[in-house]
Chain A
Amino acid sequence: MHALTTPTEQDRLLLRLEIEDFLYREADLLDERRFDEWLELLTDDIRYWMPMRRNVPYGEQDREYTVERLDMSWFDEGKTTLTQRVLQMKTGSHWCEEPFSRISHLISNVRLLDVEPSEVRVSSRFIVHKNRLEDEDHVFIGRRIDTLRRVDASWKIARREILLDQNVLLAKNLTAFF
């Protein structure tokens, strides 16, 4: 009998399962509206960025995304603003989330891109389904590239890039966390 995987590959596989588990748990916190617990998963220096996407000619793909910290984006912010969003959600008068929408995050295609001792960069796909009041329904599909950092034996999100597969946003607003 020889081992199917070398120890490093096995480690990597276990690490990916651990990261997947983290991402699924995070999704559940959001969908269960446990926003304060979700905030605890973010490092204080988190960057949360969702660029807009342009239609550009072949060969000019470097212009596809709006530039972080320079251009306008759909989101380009840190923990202070994310915390304000959570506070706003809990006022009971944030009308676009009052009553709360029913939101599901489906996370898949999880792949580790870079592995460092205390940080991993992980790519995944999302389907965020939002259903609201009686029959309002929106689907957001795209990719996330996260940097997770190990802080005191647990993972935290230090950076999240959200690449939504839309040019003109086809929804009236963006009230979900991605």
Chain B
Amino acid sequence: MIADADSIGTLVDKERGLVSREIFLSEEIYQQELEQIFARAWLFVGHESQIPNPGDFVLSRMGDEPVIVVRDRNRRVHVFLNSCRHRGNRVCRYDQGNTSVFTCTFHGWTYDLEGKLTALPFHDGGYNDLDKPAWGLWEARSELFEGSIWGCWDESAPDFREYLGGTELYLSALLRSIDGTPGGAEVLGGVQKWRIPCNWKVPSPDTDRTHGWITHKSVDAVNIAPSGQGRRDRSDRGQSYTVNFPEGHTMSMTLPREDAQPYRGSWASTPIVGEYLDHAYQERKKKMGALASTQCAPGIFPNAGSQGGQPWVIRIMHPQGPTTTEIWSYFLIDRDAPREVKEIIRDYYGRYAGPGGMTQQDDMENWHWSTAASKGTISRRLPYNYQLFVDEQPLHGPSNFGLPGLFCSITSDENHRRYYQRWAEFMAAKSWDELRVHEHVK
């Protein structure tokens, strides 16, 4: 009722910067999101460093559903629905491991690493000519991007690179090691997974540069940053902007600066890390030129967020109901960094991020209560305000900076306006034909 094509338009008013609270609360809208967004979009499911060897698998999620990410004998990566084709039981019950088959514990249907149904009980006799190839594990399209693994259920969706549009460059930069080696990052052992009582969209769009001064006031005061000042080190870089893309991707970015020394002075209390990063940065400059000093961490529509550097993390907001989100945080680090360096950097991630992190604990508190305090009959009639810099004309990256994206002031709400506009497009579209972006901002 609420979410037909016409009424969706009334929930998101991009021109005025208003978004209805209903889209963060309504069960009906949530059910349609699973269909219209999560069954169509490219979703982050993991990183190759989690499954380096043939037979390695790791459980993940796409939307509200469990999937298995596995590397087959020929080293190809597959993404399968973790649900038996017989009568639906989960076929894998372990978070990660190595295996040669997935055997369902209910009646014993057995699938190989390519998802093929290879054995089933009482096959001789009863089933006559069961078309085995048609009864393999249900497989998503999957693509690898510089170590990251993405899945998509929709055959008509564009390939992942087209889906990324102008963010390809930035996602690549995020996934490089500090010294600029493509795909040189690895995921630290231990993906943090936890549930928050808020809608999955609340933490999804990047960037909200207007909340930190008060949300994180207490942690600023106790100086957890690597240099011992504030919660994070001020980056020695140029002017910062919010940047968005017609595909719904959003991020913030600081423009490159020739003389930037982003690691000088950071990590002052642990010179071994400072020296490592400083050296890596010189290498990065050789490989990436001006782009080396930009700090960018794209949020990929609909539910993949990231942070670069301090800390360095990919964060997925899995929907678990209209007002429940399960966040999975994957912490990244240079694969080849010395162990001591990894340990010190990891210590910082731990005190900053996740449900035990001194910074993010307060994000969770505010996300929770923004949801709880919006639920009332009167409260839910009032729109949320995303009007900061609503009249600002975005600068087109290519013409002004030689970098892709629509650039706005760092405290602009334009990223949110773009994100919710894209959300509305997905919710109203009958198929991918209506969603294709014809003019990427590359």
Contact = CB atoms under 8 A, between A and B. Distances in A.
B is a partner of A: yes
B350 A172 contact: no
Contacts of A69: 343
Given A56-B95, A71-B189, A84 B351 contact: yes
B380 interface: no
Interface in B75-103: 93-97
A5 interface: no
Nearest to B350: A76
A94 B346 CA distance: 23
A171 B351 contact: no
B365 A172 contact: yes
B331 A168 contact: no
A46 interface: no
Interface string B172-200: 00000000000000001111111111000
B288 to A, nearest CB: 27
Interface of chain A: mostly helix, strand, loop or mixed: loop
Given A96-B364, A169-B193, A172-B197, A74 B219 contact: no
Contact of A95 (B223, B343, B355, B365): B365
B356 A71 contact: no
A87 B218 CA distance: 9
A87 B192 CA distance: 25
Contacts, number: 128
A93 B358 contact: no
B393 interface: no
Nearest to B92: A55
Contact of A77 (B188, B218, B347, B355): B347
Nearest to A66: B190
A35 to B, nearest CB: 13
Interface string A11-51: 00000000000000000000000000000000000000011
B356 A57 contact: no
Contacts of B222: 84, 87-88, 91
B3 interface: no
A96 B217 CA distance: 12
Contacts of B364: 96, 172-173
A173 B361 contact: yes
Interface string B218-239: 1101111000000000000000
Interface in A133-173: 167-173
B118 interface: no
19 contacts: A52-B190, A52-B192, A54-B96, A66-B189, A72-B190, A72-B329, A76-B350, A88-B218, A88-B221, A91-B217, A94-B219, A95-B365, A167-B95, A169-B192, A169-B193, A169-B355, A172-B197, A173-B194, A173-B365
Q: Top 3 nearest A-B pairs by Cβ distance?
A: A71-B189, A72-B190, A169-B194
